[in-house]
Structure 1
């Protein structure tokens, strides 16, 4: 093989390689949906083993795959009520959720509001919730906002009341949806009569979080 032939082969191989690279170049991926999960300890994943992988937002992210980026903005102990003992409004995660500029917002707040010291302000629950929804709707992304019926609270020694959740919070969320036009994700029904999934009667375990994630995905996917 002479020098000229060798150089010709190298040049041809280089051209073929360049053509193959262009042909195999990945197509530009469509932009991922940004989903913000706003809530209390149940959203955060408190008391779940391996929380970062098993909280409901993480499991929702796994279910959505490459279609979405799901972020957890849950804060344990927080209330929807501005006059509650730990308002979500004052947490840095609320500001972070706004700065995320999400396409979809899933709000699950109300469980801690049922504590007697908080629920004495129950007349402000609906207007405070409406204000929270509006704060997200003002974002440049104009997100679709979903509100959740809280999961059941089973009999416990603490101040959280399952009766208030079922008999007062749920009807109020119906009124909130009526006033704002948001859609409701029912997390109460699929976890009713599932006390075994709530080791402390308040917080679902990883299996309970999976049900939440599946229910949220089915709702936002329109199934």
Structure 2
């Protein structure tokens, strides 16, 4: 009787982020459907959290951050920075690059030695909740580019595809959070960053 081959292990993807990652209309859900059964998606998003360790709700102080490392991912998607743009958080802007590098190094030292992908923040309209689009574009994005270059990481531009849609139905209710349609579009860009191919139904 022939010996059956062992089942191939799934490629594990840890999604790190805030409400765009954790919320009801999150992007990891459609991303999982796009990628199929060969992948396992771990959603480690935390609503309203910051990359900054001195932010009002620092992501790196959460159990989600610990669990993401225990997940032993093959790929890590980091989509943080939006909540850091609030005045009370951006007070510590001089530490943003240091903290981003710390997060990258932490995941690099995971036993699984994952590939890390950084994401540029999507646009934020009307400066709701204190989130400031000018900080996202003029200050946070240049730091993300610098860190991506330093560590030779892929940086996915999620800002440009939504730049002209801030006040459209691509957003749920407040020009900050994506609805299902917008999240599917965002997931498509992540899919392309992971596979190198454009998603087609």
* TM-score normalised to structure 2 length: 0.92
Who is 1:205 aligned against?
A: 179
Three-state SS of the structure 1 residue aligned to 2:129 is coil
Aligned counterparts of 2:134 and 2:127: Cα–Cα separation in 1: 12
Looking at secondary structure, tell me which structure has more helix per residue: 1
Aligned pair in 2 of structure 1 residues 26, 203: CA closer, same or farther (>3 Å)?
farther
- Structure 2 portions without partners, runs of 5+: none
Aligned pair in 2 of structure 1 residues 161, 103: CA closer, same or farther (>3 Å)?
same
Runs of 4+ in structure 1 over 3 Å off: 25-28
**Among 75, 89, 96, the residue aligned to 1:125:** 96
Aligned length: 194
Who is 2:194 aligned against?
A: 220
8 Å contact kept, 1:104–1:144? yes
Who is 2:136 aligned against?
A: 165
String of CA shifts for 1:63-93, please: whole Å, max 9, x gaps. 0101100011000010000110000011110
1:158 Cα shift? 2.5
**Which deviates the most, 167-176 or 143-152?**
167-176
1:35 and 2:6 equivalent? no
Who is 2:155 aligned against?
A: 184
Aligned counterparts of 1:55 and 1:100: Cα–Cα separation in 2: 20
Aligned counterparts of 1:156 and 1:172: Cα–Cα separation in 2: 21
1:73-88 counterparts in 2 under 5 A? 73-88=44-59
8 Å contact kept, 1:126–1:176? yes
8 Å contact kept, 1:80–1:87? yes
- Structure 1 portions without partners, runs of 5+: 1-21, 46-50
* TM-score normalised to structure 1 length: 0.83
Three-state SS of the structure 1 residue aligned to 2:122 is coil
Aligned pair in 2 of structure 1 residues 146, 157: CA closer, same or farther (>3 Å)?
closer
Three-state SS of the structure 2 residue aligned to 1:158 is helix
Aligned counterparts of 2:59 and 2:76: Cα–Cα separation in 1: 15
1:157 Cα shift? 3.8
1:100 Cα shift? 0.2
1:95 and 2:66 equivalent? yes
Who is 2:85 aligned against?
A: 114
Three-state SS of the structure 2 residue aligned to 1:165 is helix
1:190 Cα shift? 1.1
Aligned counterparts of 2:91 and 2:150: Cα–Cα separation in 1: 23
Three-state SS of the structure 2 residue aligned to 1:155 is coil
8 Å contact kept, 2:16–2:45? yes
1:156 Cα shift? 3.7
